[in-house]
Copies of this chain bind each other. A is one copy, B any other.
Amino acid sequence: MRSAIDSREHLIEVATKVFAREGFAGTSLRMIAVEAGVSAALLVHHFGSKQRLIEETIETTLGEWMRDKDHLAELPLSEALSQWPQTAQDGQQKLAFFKQVMLSGGKPAQLLLERMHFEARERLTAMTKSGVMRDIADIDTAALLLAVYGMAPLILSEPVKKILGGDITDPEISEKLARSSLELFALIREGQTPPQTKERAGEK
């Protein structure tokens, strides 16, 4: 018998890959089992149920952004989302997995959106106080919209890809989208250089 820990980690790895590609509902335990070269029963043996396996993959990939809001403010989710695509194929898979989590609804999607909402509000508040940005009447709602807009191109990535003729993870496409979103969010006072964080927020 092999090392139980190694096997578990490998299974989570494969499961995450298939979930990212096919979605949670569209993935059967047998699909994961075949791709991992094991039996479906082994998945149940290790994780108890499909639901628990799903929860473990989510915890492994996105767990650090689903816990205490305040402590991890220095590792923003929005920044991670924009940096993942640069890390070759693994990053694209992470992005696709994140999309599936948001589409699956439930508590994880709720927590992740709340997290991005929190980050956007912090960013807006800081920029307003420093005078880089003109005042906003309802910062809370504006921050929520920024969070939602940030996820939108990813969630609609399939049809967007066909229109743009390339995936949104392509550096060229990504840059074009970032530039356009910056142009739309003309929050910055003219003559000032927009901070980098602002650019990342509106893009992905």
Contacts and interface: CB of A to CB of B under 8 A. Distances in A.
A129 interface: no
Contacts of A187: 184, 186
Contact of A114 (B109, B163, B179): B163
Interface of A: 25-26, 102-103, 105, 109-110, 113-114, 117, 136-138, 141-142, 144-146, 148-149, 151-153, 155-156, 158-160, 162-164, 176-177, 179-181, 183-187
A contacts with B: majority SS: helix
Nearest to A142: B180
Contact of A113 (B117, B151, B160, B186): B160
A186 B189 CA distance: 11
A156 B160 contact: no
A84 to B, nearest CB: 19
A144 B117 contact: no
Given A113-B163, A114-B163, A185 B183 contact: no
B113 A156 contact: yes
Contacts of A164: 141, 144
Given A142-B184, A181-B145, A156 B151 contact: yes
A163 B113 CA distance: 9
Contacts of A114: 159, 163
A180 B102 contact: no
Nearest to A185: B184
Contact of A152 (B117, B142, B149, B185): B149
B158 A144 contact: no
A179 B145 contact: no
Contacts of A144: 160, 163-164, 180
Nearest to A164: B144
